Amino acid sequence: MNYISESDIKNIVQKVMQSLSSSNGSSYAPSVPQTSSVSDSDSTVKIIAIGSDHGGFETKQSLVAALQDRGYEVIDCGAKNYNPDDDYPSFAFKVGEELVKLLHQNKLARGILLCRSGAGMNVAANKVNGVRAAETNSIEQAQHARRDNDANIATIAADWLDIDAVLQ
**C-alpha to C-alpha distance for 49 and 121, rounded to whole angstroms:** 14
Residue of 32, 115, 134, 139 with catalytic role: 115
- Using DSSP, state whether 23 is helix, strand or coil: coil
**Is 115 marked active-site?**
yes
**C-alpha to C-alpha distance for 106 and 34, rounded to whole angstroms:** 9
- The residue among 129, 160, 155, 158 whose CA lies nearest residue 62 is 158
Cα distances from 50 to residues 5, 122, 147, in angstroms, run 24, 13, 21
Q: Which helix (H) or strand (E) holds 157?
A: strand 153-157
Give me the active site residues, please: 115
